C-alpha cells in the first residue's frame, strides 16, 4: 500500500508527498531527512492521508494535488475526501 499525504508546515504552508510508511516519512521530514522544502518549512502534522493501491497511482495523485490551488487543498484537508475538493 502507498499513501499520498499532506503535511501542515510551521509557516502554514502545505507539503504534499508519497510514502509506503507515512508516519516514518513524517518523522524523517521533522528530523531534516525529508525533502528540501520541509528542511526550510518545518512540518507540524499530517493533515491528510489517502491510501492508494500502488506507487504509480500515488505519484499521479501527488502531482494532481501539487497542481491545485491552496483553497482546493484546504477543502481536501477540511472535508477529508478527495471528491469533495
Report d(CA 75, CA 85) in Å as an integer. Answer: 5
Q: What is the pLDDT of residues 1-22, one digit of tens each?
A: 999 999 999 999 999 999 999 9
CB 15 within 8 A of CB 62: no
- The 3-state DSSP class for residue 25 equals helix
Taken in order of first residue, the domains within the chain and their CATH numbers are 2-80 (3.40.1440.10)
Most confident of 12-21, 28-37, 76-85: 12-21
Look-up: residue for cell 477540511?
78
Q: What is the pLDDT of residue 30?
A: 95
Amino acid at each position: 500500500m502507498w499513501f499520498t499525504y499532506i503535511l501542515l508546515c510551521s509557516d502554514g504552508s502545505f507539503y504534499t508527498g508519497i510514502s509506503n510508511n507515512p508516519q516514518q516519512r513524517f518523522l524523517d521530514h521533522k528530523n531534516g531527512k525529508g525533502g528540501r522544502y520541509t528542511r526550510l518549512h518545518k512540518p507540524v502534522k499530517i493533515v491528510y492521508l489517502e491510501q492508494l493501491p500502488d506507487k504509480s497511482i500515488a505519484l499521479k495523485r501527488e502531482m494532481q494535488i501539487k497542481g491545485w490551488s491552496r483553497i482546493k487543498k484546504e477543502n481536501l484537508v477540511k472535508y477529508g475526501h478527495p471528491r469533495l475538493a
